[in-house]
Amino acid sequence: MVKIKIRFQGRLSASSLMEAVIAMVIMVLVFGIAMMIYTNVTRLSLSVRKIRAQAVLQERLIQTVKNGNTDNQHIQVDEFEIEQKVSPFGPGSGLIQIELTAFGENHQQLAQLKQIISHANEAH
């Protein structure tokens, strides 16, 4: 077995400390960019609550058309607050527009649904 002795003559440069600092800065930048991407993806993706709110609005629209309830109102359904706005659609057309909006906590809008129906549908 061969033994090698290394003698160090001279000064040790501080490049190893500088390399460590640069590596840490690069890791922080990469982590920051990854967190921004993650935040944007989760904010823009369809969540289960938004899909459920859309389904509740569809059900509420069917009930509104079936019952002929064409009043502006605020309704609490499960954890959603639903705002119903009814307005005439065009002068003399015999059509009305129903706009349903679902809000979550902190009055954050989760879903919106607009439908145009005729007054004939309202009577049935």
pLDDT at residue 3 greater than cutoff 90: no
Tell me the per-residue pLDDT of 73-123, one tens digit each, with 9 for 90 and over.
Answer: 888 888 889 999 988 887 777 888 899 999 988 888 889 999 988 865 444
The verdict on 54 and 38 lying in the same domain is no
Whether residue 54 sits in one domain with residue 106: yes
Give the pLDDT of residue 124: 42
CA 118/CA 83 separation, integer angstroms: 20
Place of tokens 């069917």: 62
Query: H helices then E strands: how many in the chain?
Result: 3, 4
- Per residue in 53-79, pLDDT tens? 899 999 988 888 888 877 888 888 888
Q: To which residue do tokens 């003399």 refer?
A: 92
- Quick one: tokens of 28? 């922080």
How is the beta sheet containing 109-118 ordered, strand by strand? Answer: 73-77, 80-88, 95-103, 109-118
Domain of residue 17: give its range: 13-45
Task: Write the CATH number for 79.
Answer: 3.30.1300
Q: Which residues contact 54 (CB under 8 A, 6 or more apart)?
A: 102, 111, 113
* One domain for residues 62 and 119: yes
Same domain (yes/no): 28, 53: no
Which amino acid is present at 33? I
| Contact assessment for residue 105 and residue 48, using Cβ atoms and an 8 Å cutoff | no
